[in-house]
Amino acid sequence: RKEVEQDPGPFNVPEGATVAFNCTYSNSASQSFFWYRQDCRKEPKLLMSVYSSGNEDGRFTAQLNRASQYISLLIRDSKLSDSATYLCVVTLLGLDTGRRALTFGSGTRLQVQP
């Protein structure tokens, strides 16, 4: 089982739609959570961190459910410019080294259509 799993999509939605992505993680000791956005053939860029109480940034809302070990990203009022791949990222404290390592999901592709 992958440490971080995402539905690869693609999610094809019309402009203005609301779309939600989920991401599940396997290690309950995971500590920090992020959503990154990656445009085609470009580098990943941080979209937002995910906090235990949930957090919102404009049209984007992120939530964490530690009991069920998943995080979600909700995008309201989708824009054409939201078309990208969204990567779920989880950090885990390494038991052997005591260091944190980031684990990336394989991403969910979103295509917003006019």
Partner 1 sequence: DADVTQTPRNRITKTGKRIMLECSQTKGHDRMYWYRQDPGLGLQLIYYSFDVKDINKGEISDGYSVSRQAQAKFSLSLESAIPNQTALYFCATSDTGGQPQHFGDGTRLSIL
* Site residues, partner 1 (CB under 8 A): 4, 8, 31-32, 34, 36, 41-46, 49, 87, 91, 97, 99-102, 104-107
Q: How far is the CB of 7 from partner 1 (least distance, A)?
A: 12
The DSSP string of 87-113 is EEEEEEE-TTTS-EEEEE---EEEEEE
Q: How far apart are CA 76 and CA 60, in angstroms?
A: 7
Specify the residue, 54 or 104, whose C-beta has the smaller distance to partner 1: 104
CB nearer to partner 1: pick between 42 and 79: 42
Report in angstroms how near the CB of residue 59 gets to partner 1 at its nearest: 20
The phi, psi pair for 80, rounded to 5°, reads -55, -35
Q: Which is nearer to partner 1, 90 or 112 (CB)?
A: 90
Rounded Cα distance between 85 and 42, Å, is 10
